[in-house]
Structure 1
């Protein structure tokens, strides 16, 4: 029994030794690779930073206004005897538009002229008598005062007669009349509207953050509905203060309207150029990453991503103007930027 046990024990030892031997051999035959595996480069889109001319233009809403406009009202009451204009036509400054019946006033003027001549003759005689000391100074003063009063009364009636003639205060186009011949009109009666449309005013409001970026005589462009034509205007006046309610600055510009194609009251889409920057560095706005220190972007250097802090001037719809941090010729990474870290290997795919 003891001999049989020793036999099986010997067989087990031999088998174990063979297994150990095979394992050692296999380990010796395996290739040794102790070097760490290099990370796989990240595929990203890139572009070369190229300076370009940049014109910062903002879009605003405005309206067209007449250069001058007025609702015509008579200065005195009376019957509109004559209407001397045609609706919708041009009239000249000083042109007679409406004549109010002045028969009563002319009768009063005739009476005043008669009294003026009479008192004038009395004043002349009193002066001759005063020179001869035939009357007192007081008597002459009474005659002189009567003459001056009569003369003033005549002038007052002449002014009232002049007010019965309604004349155009400036040249322009007169609108639709609201009266007919024979209508009794008063100073509250609106007869028609007179509008001057050459030149035309373009009025708009500018947000206060741009208030220091515009200047007098600056050119702007605008369009109106139902036409693709682009019109030009020139700023002629700025409100001297910001509106505290709307936080905007009121601006007006003159636009040539010789052709008469533009009408007051029309809505205008305005393009206002604020600043022209030569050799500006413009980059896509989506590549800018906000950080605690400010803003950063990633550039490629020697096949690796490197973060760069930048300073920006303004943002358009899709681009940002960079004033510091980037220079012409830098390779800007424009895709996958949120997955990048410093020294990340990158494989560049060029973006046009």
Structure 2
């Protein structure tokens, strides 16, 4: 009986061992099958789209932000204080150079002028008499000099009061559009109060800053193009002046150009999108914008090398509506991957469909 138990246990143990080896063998075959399938998938590679890059003519440029300034602009202030007697302009109207804008009450100054003229007449007569007496040696030279000085002082007083009178009439220093007035007839005005703002917009100035590395390309009379919000028209301005030095904080050069504004569509203070032409590239390498991937240090893209995706750091220049000029990193004839690039890694196997 004991012998039969031992045989039974031995058979049971052999069965368990056989079952274990069977499961191990099945798992191994399954792993090999999965491994083989995965390897086959790798050999086929990820399906992506690409484009062979060839050089083509391209006019390079950079886009900058700018602002519109008036050709001439001034806040008009009187030179003396007084009561406003008349206002001779309409808000928002066109005024001409030399046109009278405001008159300040000058009654007191005119009275002073009449008084000064009377004194001048008396001083002139005294000087004439003193001169006759000096010729007859009836008075000394010193006495004549005093009379002559009084006469010249009286003349200077007339000139001073006349200058004050002229300041009671405020005129437009140049032609332009006058803005909203800050005064009313009959109110008191001083030299610190602004009457209104006068702006000449027959021409406007375009102010923008260009990066230091392009500063050497700025030249007098060089045309630049710009647009403003609300209008689909591209305007042209010509550079006429720059700052003499690079701004240390921004590493940019401040540039000013001038543009004609016959329709008065360009309003001072408006934002402008400026297109600054750089150079004409005979064989520019243009890649689709979607091929570029922004990274911390710039931009990168993928090219195909021996059936694998190769990561390349690139430098870019100007762009069109759909393409970007690559100035460094790729060469003519390279195949650039244009879609499905976000999931790629350097060295990934790829299957490329050319567009």
TM-score interval, smaller chain: 0.7 to 0.9
What residue in structure 1 maps to residue 170 of structure 2? 166
What residue in structure 1 maps to residue 124 of structure 2? 120
Q: Count the aligned residue pairs.
A: 302
The question of 1:92 aligning with 2:73 is answered no
After superposition, the Cα gap between the structure-2 partners of 1:279 and 1:149, relative to the gap in structure 1 and judged at 3 Å, is same
Contact 1:174 1:194 in 2 (8 A): yes
The question of 1:256 aligning with 2:260 is answered yes
After superposition, the Cα gap between the structure-2 partners of 1:172 and 1:322, relative to the gap in structure 1 and judged at 3 Å, is closer
Does 239-248 or 107-116 show the bigger shift?
239-248
- Given the two structures, how large is their TM-score scaled by the length of structure 1? 0.73
Contact 1:105 1:157 in 2 (8 A): yes
Contact 1:64 1:263 in 2 (8 A): yes
CA drift at 1:63:
1.8
After superposition, the Cα gap between the structure-2 partners of 1:104 and 1:230, relative to the gap in structure 1 and judged at 3 Å, is same
CA distance in 2, matches of 1:203, 1:287: 32
CA distance in 2, matches of 1:132, 1:118: 21
1:260-279 alignment to 2 at 5 Å?
260-279=264-283
String of CA shifts for 1:208-257, please: whole Å, max 9, x gaps. 34333332222122222222122111222212223233333222211211
Which of 213, 218, 222 does residue 214 from structure 1 map onto? 218
CA distance in 2, matches of 1:348, 1:114: 104
CA distance in 2, matches of 1:205, 1:258: 25
Alpha-carbon RMSD: 3.5
CA distance in 1, matches of 2:51, 2:260: 45
Which of 126, 132, 144 does residue 148 from structure 2 map onto? 144
Contact 1:202 1:253 in 2 (8 A): yes
CA distance in 1, matches of 2:95, 2:160: 29
- Given the two structures, how large is their TM-score scaled by the length of structure 2? 0.72
What residue in structure 2 maps to residue 231 of structure 1? 235
CA drift at 1:197:
0.8
1:179-194 alignment to 2 at 5 Å?
179-194=183-198
1:69-84 alignment to 2 at 5 Å?
69-84=73-88
After superposition, the Cα gap between the structure-2 partners of 1:348 and 1:88, relative to the gap in structure 1 and judged at 3 Å, is closer
String of CA shifts for 1:51-110, please: whole Å, max 9, x gaps. 322222222222211111111111111110111111111111111111111111111101
After superposition, the Cα gap between the structure-2 partners of 1:324 and 1:183, relative to the gap in structure 1 and judged at 3 Å, is closer
What residue in structure 2 maps to residue 134 of structure 1? 138
After superposition, the Cα gap between the structure-2 partners of 1:331 and 1:85, relative to the gap in structure 1 and judged at 3 Å, is closer
The question of 1:62 aligning with 2:52 is answered no
CA distance in 2, matches of 1:180, 1:340: 75
CA drift at 1:200:
0.8
SS across alignment from 1:198: strand
CA drift at 1:350:
4.0
CA distance in 2, matches of 1:348, 1:267: 44
Contact 1:287 1:333 in 2 (8 A): no
String of CA shifts for 1:155-194, please: whole Å, max 9, x gaps. 1101111111111111111111121211111111211111
Which of 50, 64, 72 does residue 54 from structure 2 map onto? 50
Q: Which runs of 5+ in 1 are unaligned?
A: 1-39
CA distance in 1, matches of 2:90, 2:336: 70
Contact 2:102 2:171 in 1 (8 A): yes
Which of 199, 205, 213 does residue 201 from structure 1 map onto? 205
After superposition, the Cα gap between the structure-2 partners of 1:325 and 1:244, relative to the gap in structure 1 and judged at 3 Å, is closer
